[in-house]
Structure 1
Amino acid sequence: MREKTITGKNQKEKYKFLAVVAFFLVSGMFYSHSFYGGSLELGEEITAEQIGVVEGTTLPAEDMLGKIDINIATVTELESLSGIGSTRAADIIKYREENGNFGRIEDIMKVSGIGEKTFEEIKERITVGE
């Protein structure tokens, strides 16, 4: 059986791969440091109180996104709202272009297809630039 040897080309590919892996590991460390506002030691734990979560509760991912200004939001931002798809998001933008900015968040119900039920689902996530 013939043993496989590593040629110079294979060695370069190996180092390129390792450099890419190292880049992502280091990027992840910087991201987690900036996201959490500090650093953790290996094995250190974070309590729910430290990040502002009451023990035993969960937060939907959309709660972490912050409020969306419906007067300047893009289609993509509007689509992140519960019950708002691409068609409804386009309707919101069209309404805004034709009628001007929304004066209060309740005005979004003037857009065809957005009623009280949808408004109740999104009212905590929207703003009019307050």
Structure 2
Amino acid sequence: MNMRFKGILAALLFSISLGFSGGVLAQEVAPINVNTADAELLAELPGIGPSRADAIIEERETNGAFESAEELERVNGIGPATVDRMRDQVIFE
């Protein structure tokens, strides 16, 4: 029984330590300005890799700045689902 108690205590302490470290490790990330960000930064957005990041830059240089998340759908390969995943991570200034 003593061994069982030690196991439960160890599991409890481990769980508590994970709870505390979650707050320390979690960081609030600043939104990315789609109209000024470079390809490397844009590629960090969910659903956007290097080729779509390049396409975003090409689209904004050709057709002007984006004014909303929905306008990102102008870019080939970016649809409503991708826009929804990144909506809270982008700004348009």
1:92 paired residue number = 56
> Which residue is 2:47 aligned to?
83
Partners of 1:88 and 1:63 in 2: how far apart?
A: 26
1:113 aligns with 2:73: no
Using structure 2 for the length normalisation, give the TM-score: 0.69
Matches within 5 A, 1:1-130: 64-129=28-93
Supply the distance in 2 between the matched residues of 1:81 and 1:64 (Cα, whole angstroms).
14
Give the helix-richer structure, 1 or 2. Answer: 2
Structure 1 or 2, whichever has the larger Rg, is: 1
Q: Structure 2: which 5+ residue stretches go unaligned?
A: 1-18
Q: Could you tell me how far apart the structure 2 residues matched to 1:88 and 1:62 are? A: 27
Tell me the number of residue pairs that the alignment of Structure 1 and Structure 2 aligns. Answer: 73
Asked whether the equivalents of residues 70 and 80 of structure 2 are also in contact (C-alpha less than 8 Å), the reply is no
Gaps of at least 5 residues in structure 1 are 1-54
Q: Which amino acid aligns with 1:122?
A: M
TM-score, with structure 1 as normaliser: 0.50
State the Cα distance separating 1:104 from its structure 2 match. Answer: 1.7
- For residue 123 of structure 1, give the secondary structure of its aligned residue in structure 2: helix
Identity %: 32
Cα distance in 1, alignment partners of residues 27 and 67 from structure 2: 23
